[in-house]
Structure 1
Amino acid sequence: MPDTQFDVDKLELEATIGFCGQVPSGLIVHPDRQHFIYPLGSTVIIEEISDEKGPRKRKQEFLTGHTNDVSCIAVSKSGRFLASGQITYMGFKADIIIWDFERRELYCRLVLHKNNVEALAFSPNDKYLVSLGGQDDGSVVVWSIDKKDAICGSPAQVKSAGTTTCICYSNNDDNVFVTGGDCTLRVWDLDLDNRKVRATDVNMGQLKRKIKCIQMKSDDSFFYCGTTTGDIISVNVKTKLYQFDGPPKDKFSLGVTALALLKTGEVLVGAGDGTVAVVKGEKLKRVQGKQQKVHGAVTSITLRGSGHQFFVGTDKSHIYRFNYSEFSHEMIGTRHSTAVNDIIFPPGASELFLTCGKEDIRVWQTDTCDELLRIKVPNMECHAICLAQDGKTLISAWDDGKIRAFYPKTGKEMFTIHDAHNKGVTAIACASHGHSIVSGGGEGQVRVWNIINGYGPKGPAITTKLVEAMKEHKGKVTAIKITTKDKECVSSSTDGTCIVWDLERFVRKQIMFANTLFKCVCYGAEECQMITSGTDRKICYWEIFDGSMIRELEGSKSGSVNAMDISREGNQFVTGGDDKLIKVWNYNEGEVTHVGIGHSGNITKIKICPASRFIVSVSTDGAILRWKFPQRNA
């Protein structure tokens, strides 16, 4: 959980790129039809829905109050309230927060469940909120919204059943709701006078199913349940009897993971293989021509109004907009679904930035946060990226030991250096003239490569040549920085050393030792000093001339400092790490001036844009956050 004991200004969060597709039903259209609501880490984001096509400036608002990842969200039928539950650490209570949507502020905080809140649902008239605890809690609790307190609770399932994972409230009755999970499906009745909630198990005979999602018909006559076996179960609410499961011979691959009911009686189905389809009739047969496939398992289907337009979220963190009549779709939102390893701005340009992670490199527009280009390399992970000074060559470091170069405008491959490092390429830097690359590997070597423009049998061709391999590090090289005149570079390593290399004679000029695993290094503005940090949580200033430490600061109270960047003027720098905090420092005073709270994953990289307008930070949960940079006169 972030350490927030700082008497300093708060860094302003301007925009986020990210949608946590792993949260079931984690994408919701507000009843006003104008806003998306979705979680990103510990933050709940309210984003205005835009019907425009092409680049657009996202209008986002942020609800912050959770101390760890948000695990579930729900919106009341009237739209007045929004509820979110979180995950926490073993042995701790997991908070539920009810938000006042109009005021965008916390209405109340409810604390009772242990470790995790699995699901939430509001009663139709905003009287109650029902919550479901996770595997280590196993209870269902009904809360009074007016009194901001628990009314009653009960074990969510019988001891012989598995974990209960989903919940759905009646559309018309404040006293009836349904829960489902692994071999458990129950209809609950709330007895307010006796402060009790009573469950009736649905009689399913010999049928055993794991329920993933539940949707109630508008007249509360019966409800549908999506299962991991790919069928949909229908249950009569009054009799609590299983009616049928369908489609009988055409089950959905990898299970039914999301459902939504249309007023026409048709059912929108999302499946684990990315299928989005419509089924109807007593046997829930697929409607011909009403089926599409999206990237990733469907985790959310949310209607906008009557359902002529609806939105789909997937576990690959994609958001799609569907037109029901044509059953066509377009992707309107995306992000990295795994850890982001690096982020860079083009030299002298703040309008774009690039990120990399598992299987791809992405180019983003800074103002609108729209993805402009994606370069995919299947089954590989990109550890680091850099751009030549002219912006025409994108160099990337990969875990298969290759250095790959691309044209940034098209994403077409320019050249590849095979077997650049035998334990993966972990750091990369490009000389300002664009004809040399310095790379670092998992085995500890720092290698210098020349890029040679020539001609081959088919016309112009680019070749590369290894100039020198410098081997002094004993551990993985974590960062490389080259001076503006290209005469020397510094490399940091997990072996506790930082080495300054002469790029003309290819020998060591200076070495710095510390009892840490160095994670990041930056040159000062005049390149006579540098700052480092790592797992010892210390920020160290070094004199390059003699390798002496001239200052040591406490960079974090908990967790390593993984990322660092210095402003162009050199009077400020920013850091981020395992404490999940962005910190802005005065370089000369060595004091923290601003702290940014927003990440829920460990921060991996951070950059100040060349115009000193923004800070962009990335983390292990795939989130990309843009902050307003607090400029300061030198």
Structure 2
Amino acid sequence: MDKKKVVAPLVCHGHSRPVVDLFYSPITPDGFFLVSASKDSTPMLRNGETGDWIGTFQGHKGAVWSCCLDKHALRTASASADFSAKLWDALTGDELHSFEHKHIVRACAFSEDTQLLLTGGIEKVLRIFDLNRLDAPPREVENSPGSVRTLAWLHSDQTILSTCTDMGGVRLWDVRTGKIFRTLETKSSVTSAEVSQDGRYITTADGSTVKFWDANHFGLVKSYNMPCIVESASLEPTYGNKFVAGGEDMWVRVFDFHTGAEVGCNKGHHGPVHCVRFSPGGESYASGSEDGTIRIWQTGPLTHNEQDTSSNGPTQNAKDAADEVAQQIDNFHIAEEKNERGEKAIDAE
């Protein structure tokens, strides 16, 4: 019996150019929200559940490559090819500040405490802006080995995660020292890196591979080969039992986390899929495409078997896999310790 499900998505129009980044807010007293970045230079805010348009942030003069919301969904940040990152009021749409850079900005991320904004791009410099002192110069972190593609915070804002457009690997930075302390090796450049909602996993997409890493001990938990080159992947946040991936073949596929088996294939986009993200409750996921649309797909109710194997966090099998990796790494560290002792161009598109 074929277990694959065909789902009719909510189709969100509005962007006139490719959608290149999506970001869901956490669940707030007013619900949850979805912000999108597009090459049309205008980030858009939507109701995360219905996909209804709320507003458009106007002010950039080049492609917007990255966008994010703070955890309260009160402010939005965007990174653009016009050599700036902007801070917006998510309630009014007003521009609060523009952080000028010397080249294209590809990534931005709010710290967990919402007090800092991290940016990176073609300059190969990570900058940390204090949002309580908007006019103060940023703290500049040691130069990145390559052009920055994605950024994220983890470990209660003590660690920064970055990937590069022109080389493989995920780099982890100690915020206190401003230096790289670990690199997670990949064969291809990492086009998507997501820290799970509970902070346990890092999900990456590189080439035709999706990988899951232990976010605390940095061991590789699982690695799956995909049917095509994928640009983005996202882990279901509530149960951790499935993930979605999208890429060159224009389809959004759903996979079983434990086996890597494909359990769903959603057709509808008319161009490569550049970004996929699960909603904060896991009841749906969104995809953004070269065709300029966002599609929100419902995951549907859990099956009886999924409910039996699920708890209030990632499934026990996922926890066991991560714990096994952690134990192996701890043993390695113990043995190691013993051994030591004895474009100026705006996007032409």
Residues 92-114 of structure 1: per-residue CA shift (max 9 Å, x gap): xxxxxxxxxxxxxxxxxxxxxxx
Unaligned runs of 5+ in 1: 1-5, 19-334, 454-461
Distance in 2 separating the partners of 1:548 and 1:390: 31
CA-based RMSD: 2.4
CA displacement at 1:588 relative to structure 2: 3.0
The amino acid that maps onto 2:209 is K
Distance in 2 separating the partners of 1:366 and 1:400: 28
- The 1:551–1:426 alpha-carbon spacing in structure 2 relative to 1, beyond 3 Å, is same
- Report if aligned partners of 1:533, 1:562 keep a CA contact under 8 Å in 2: yes
- Report if aligned partners of 2:117, 2:128 keep a CA contact under 8 Å in 1: yes
CA displacement at 1:496 relative to structure 2: 0.8
Distance in 2 separating the partners of 1:588 and 1:484: 25
- Residue 346 (structure 1) aligns with: 25
Residues 493-549 of structure 1: per-residue CA shift (max 9 Å, x gap): 121121011223322121022221210112346545423212x20112334566554
- The 1:593–1:542 alpha-carbon spacing in structure 2 relative to 1, beyond 3 Å, is same
- Report if aligned partners of 1:542, 1:550 keep a CA contact under 8 Å in 2: yes
Distance in 2 separating the partners of 1:576 and 1:465: 38
CA displacement at 1:605 relative to structure 2: 1.2
Distance in 2 separating the partners of 1:483 and 1:373: 29
- Residue 129 (structure 2) aligns with: 449
- The 1:409–1:486 alpha-carbon spacing in structure 2 relative to 1, beyond 3 Å, is same
1:623 to 261, 283, 293: 293
Residues 423-447 of structure 1: per-residue CA shift (max 9 Å, x gap): 3110111112111112121233322
- Residue 539 (structure 1) aligns with: 210
Map 1:508-547 to 2 at 5 A. 508-524=180-196, 527-534=199-206, 536-544=207-215, 547=218
Map 1:153-552 to 2 at 5 A. 335-349=14-28, 351-357=32-38, 358-366=40-48, 368-377=50-59, 379-419=61-101, 422-453=102-133, 462-474=134-146, 476-483=147-154, 485-494=156-165, 495-524=167-196, 527-534=199-206, 536-544=207-215, 547-552=218-223
- The 1:529–1:355 alpha-carbon spacing in structure 2 relative to 1, beyond 3 Å, is closer
The higher-RCO structure (CA 8 Å, 6+ apart) is 2
Residues 569-614 of structure 1: per-residue CA shift (max 9 Å, x gap): 2333221111111122232333322221111111111121112222
- Report if aligned partners of 1:473, 1:497 keep a CA contact under 8 Å in 2: no
CA displacement at 1:11 relative to structure 2: 4.2
- Residue 134 (structure 1) aligns with: none
- The 1:497–1:367 alpha-carbon spacing in structure 2 relative to 1, beyond 3 Å, is closer
Matched, 1:566 2:235: yes
The answer to which structure has the higher helix fraction is 2
- Report if aligned partners of 2:124, 2:144 keep a CA contact under 8 Å in 1: yes
The amino acid that maps onto 2:97 is F
- Report if aligned partners of 2:67, 2:79 keep a CA contact under 8 Å in 1: yes
Specify the SS of the correspondent of 2:188. Answer: coil
Matched, 1:9 2:21: no
Distance in 2 separating the partners of 1:522 and 1:588: 18
- Report if aligned partners of 1:451, 1:465 keep a CA contact under 8 Å in 2: no
- Residue 282 (structure 1) aligns with: none
The answer to which structure has the higher strand fraction is 1
2:245 to 575, 578, 601: 575
Unaligned runs of 5+ in 2: 311-349
Specify the SS of the correspondent of 1:395. Answer: strand
Distance in 1 separating the partners of 2:231 and 2:50: 27
Distance in 2 separating the partners of 1:470 and 1:406: 27
- The 1:401–1:599 alpha-carbon spacing in structure 2 relative to 1, beyond 3 Å, is same
CA displacement at 1:10 relative to structure 2: 2.2
Map 1:100-115 to 2 at 5 A. none
- The 1:378–1:443 alpha-carbon spacing in structure 2 relative to 1, beyond 3 Å, is closer
The amino acid that maps onto 1:492 is T
Percent of pairs with identical residues:
18
The amino acid that maps onto 1:478 is R
- The 1:7–1:408 alpha-carbon spacing in structure 2 relative to 1, beyond 3 Å, is same
Distance in 2 separating the partners of 1:470 and 1:610: 33
The amino acid that maps onto 2:88 is F
- Report if aligned partners of 1:11, 1:628 keep a CA contact under 8 Å in 2: no
- Report if aligned partners of 1:17, 1:369 keep a CA contact under 8 Å in 2: yes
- Report if aligned partners of 1:447, 1:470 keep a CA contact under 8 Å in 2: no
The amino acid that maps onto 1:602 is P
- Residue 553 (structure 1) aligns with: 224
CA displacement at 1:368 relative to structure 2: 4.9
| TM-score, length of structure 2 as denominator length | 0.78
- The 1:393–1:524 alpha-carbon spacing in structure 2 relative to 1, beyond 3 Å, is closer
- Report if aligned partners of 1:353, 1:365 keep a CA contact under 8 Å in 2: yes
The amino acid that maps onto 2:272 is N
- Report if aligned partners of 2:21, 2:66 keep a CA contact under 8 Å in 1: yes
Specify the SS of the correspondent of 1:427. Answer: strand
CA displacement at 1:366 relative to structure 2: 4.3
Distance in 2 separating the partners of 1:446 and 1:379: 22
- Report if aligned partners of 2:35, 2:68 keep a CA contact under 8 Å in 1: no
CA displacement at 1:13 relative to structure 2: 2.0
